[in-house]
Chains A and B, each alone.
Chain A
Amino acid sequence: MVKAMQKERLSTLELPSISTAEILVMAIAALWSNKLRTALTMLGVIIGITAVIAVTSVGQGVQSATEANLQNLGADILRVRAGSVNSGNVSQGSGSATTLTWSDAQAIASQVRVAETVTAYLEQNAQVVYAQNNTSTTVLGTDTNYAAVNSITLQSGRFFTEEELENAQAVAILGATVKDDLFGSSEAVGADIRIQGQRYSVLGVANEKGAQGRDNPDEQIYVPLMNMSARLVGNNALNGIAVQGISVKVTEQAQLEAADFQMTNLLRVRHNIHPSRGDEDDFQIISAADLVETLSSTVGLFTIMVVAIAAISLVVGGIGIANIMLVSVVERTREIGVRKAVGATNRAILSQFLAEAIAISAAGGGLGVGLGVAIARIAATLFDFPFVISLWAMALGVGLSFVIGIMAGVIPARSAAKLDPIIALRSD
C-alpha cells in the first residue's frame, strides 16, 4: 500500500529558492544587529584593501610625476659624470681632482658625430652676498651652451659670451630664487654681488624652472667655467681644466645609444683605459631614460612589498571573518533551528550565512577602496604629484574582497546548513 502512494507528486515537493535580494536583506539585518562586531570583523579586509589601493595609486602618481620631471631634464640628453660605476667613488667628482676635463668636452663636440651640443660644468656650494642680503647657492661654472642644453631662458639681461668665457670674466647669471633672495623686486642686472668674497657683475636673471630631481636650477648661479676653475675652485687636472660633468644633446633621441657608444670609446682612448686589461671606466654615462628605469624599478619594488604586506593582512582578515562566522553559527544555533522548523532548506541557511560573510568582506573592501582613494588623494595634494586612480586596482580590491568573503564563509555556512533541526532547537 505504501509503495503505491503517489510517488510522482513527491518529486515536485520543493520550495522555490529565495531571491538574492532577500538573502542580502537578511544578511545585512543580521550584521546590523551586531554593529561593533561587524565593524571589527571588517577591519582586516579594510586595512588590506586600503593599502593595496593607496599604494598602487601613489606609486603610479609618483612614477608619472617623475617621468614627466625627467622628460623635462631632457630625453635627448646624455650626461657624463666623473667617477666609476662600480667602485662607488663618484664622490671624487665633487671638488677634488677629477678625471673629466674641458678638453674631453671639446673632443666629444668635435669627434662624436651625433653630438649636437656639448656643455661642461663644475659646481660648488658657495655663499653669495649682495648689500645686507646673503644666501647659500650652488655656483655652476659652465660654458655658453649650458642654457641651450638645459632649456634655461632669461627673464632679463643676457648669458655670458664666448669671449667672456675664454677671458674668465667675473660675470654671473642668477637663478630666479637667488635673484629674489638677494634683490627682492629691485633690478639685479648690472649690480655687483660677492661670491665667496669675490666680486661678480650680474649679467642676467633666469626664468623660474622648478626643482628637477635633486637639483633646483632656480637656486643656482652660472659663471664662466674658466673663471670658476681659476678663481673659485683653483685646481686643474693634469691635462687641462677639470669638470664634474658633461651634458651632450644628441641630434635625435634615436641616436642616444650610438652617442653613448662613441663617447665611451672616445673617453676610454683619451683616458687610456683598456677594459681588456681589466681597467675600470673613470666616468659614467647616464640618460634620462636610465633614471626613469631606475626609479620605476624602485617604485615597483616598494609597491610589491606593500602589496605583499596587504595580502597578509587580507588573509588574516579572511581568517578573522571565518572565525567570527563560526562563533556566530554556534551562537545562533537555535535561530537556525527555528528557521529550519518553519521550512528553511539547507540551501537557504547556507546562502544566508555565506551572504553574511560576503557582505562583511565586500563592505570592508568597499570601505577600503574609498579609504585608499582618499589617502592617495591626500598624498597627491600633500606631496604634489598627479592623483591617479587605478581602475584595475579598484576592481581587484572589490573582487578580492568577494573571494575572501566566499572562502571565509563557506565552512561556517556549511556547518550551519548541516545542523539537525531537532538538535538546533534544543540548544540554548
Chain B
Amino acid sequence: MPTMIWMEDICKTYRLGEVDVPILKGIDLTIEEGDYVSIMGASGSGKSTLMNIIGCLDRPSAGHYVLEGRNLTTLSDEGLAYIRNQRIGFVFQQFNLLSRSTALENVMLPMVYAGASRSQRRKQAEVALDRVGLGDRMGNRPSQLSGGQQQRVAIARALVNRPALVLADEPTGALDTHTSHEVMNLLTELNSQGITVVIVTHEPDIAAQTHRIIYVQDGLLQREPNH
C-alpha cells in the first residue's frame, strides 16, 4: 500500500514567556493509504498539536513531514492552504461551522476557495449533505441543528472536495453516546470507501472501532498504553 503520511522526528516547541516548552519531542509516524487510525493519550499530551501538524494547520518546529509523497516541511502558506483545501478534510470537536450561514453554505465553503462554479458547488454540497443524511436540513443554520447534526454538517464539509485524508480531533467529544455512534458509523463508512481516516479520542470503545491505535505520551508515540 502506498504511504499516506510519513513523519520523521517531528518536534513542536511552544515558547511560554522566557522558556521553551517542548510538546512533541520527535514523532516518527507512518500511516498507509486507506488506514483507519485513532490517536489516544492523556489530556494535554499533544494529540491536537500532532493532528494540527498532520492537517497542515500548523508547522512543526523540526522534523520532516511527507504527505502523499509531497514534502510539506518547506511548503509555503499558499501550498499548505492548497493541501488543506484539496487533500484533507478536518473535523473539530466544536464543529466550527459559520453560525450565520446555512448548512448548505457551510458545506460549499471549501469549494468557494477551490474556485468551483456556483452550480457545481451546490450540486457537490447537496451530494455531501445527502451522504451524511442531512439532505432535508440544507437551509438550516447551525443554531437550528442538534450537536450531532452539526457534526454531520462538518463531516459533509470535510468531504465536499473529495479529500484523500479525513482528520477528526475528538469528533464525538461534545456529543452524547447515541449521536457519537452515528458520527463514528459515518467515519467508518468513509474509511470503507477508501478514505484514510485519523481520529483523536479519549474513549477506548470508540478507538476500538478503528484498525490501529497510537498512544501519545511525553511527546513521543507508544505502541501500547504505558500504565
Contacts and interface: CB of A to CB of B under 8 A. Distances in A.
A13 interface: yes
B57 A422 contact: yes
B115 A339 contact: no
Contact of A425 (B85, B92, B98, B161): B92
Contact of A335 (B8, B98, B114, B115): B98
A338 interface: yes
B71 A343 contact: no
B113 A344 contact: yes
A382 interface: no
Interface stretch (A15-23, A44-52, A129-137): A15-23
B65 to A, nearest CB: 9
A425 B113 contact: no
A340 B58 CA distance: 11
Given A13-B75, A14-B79, A421 B57 contact: yes
Nearest to B109: A342
A36 interface: no
B166 to A, nearest CB: 13
B90 interface: yes
B81 A343 contact: yes
A204 interface: no
Given A2-B64, A337-B96, A342-B157, A13 B110 contact: no
A6 interface: yes
Nearest to A418: B77
A209 B55 CA distance: 85
B75 A342 contact: no
Contacts of A6: 69-70
B73 interface: yes
Contact of B57 (A10, A13, A344, A425): A425
Nearest to A33: B100
A15 B96 contact: no
B52 interface: yes
B96 A343 contact: no
A343 B114 contact: yes
Nearest to B73: A2
B69 A13 contact: no
A334 B96 CA distance: 8
Nearest to A417: B77
Given A2-B71, A33-B100, A425-B57, A341 B90 contact: yes
Interface string B81-108: 1111110001010001110100000000
Contact of B71 (A5, A15, A335): A5
Interface string B58-81: 100000101001110101011101
B216 to A, nearest CB: 17
Interface string A27-68: 000000100000000000000000000000000000000000
14 contacts: A2-B8, A6-B69, A9-B70, A10-B70, A10-B71, A14-B78, A18-B113, A334-B96, A341-B84, A342-B110, A343-B85, A346-B81, A421-B58, A425-B57
Given A338-B97, A346-B78, A347-B78, 18 more contacts: A5-B69, A6-B70, A13-B70, A15-B78, A15-B81, A15-B85, A15-B113, A15-B114, A16-B115, A22-B112, A334-B96, A341-B57, A341-B92, A342-B109, A343-B81, A343-B82, A344-B81, A345-B113
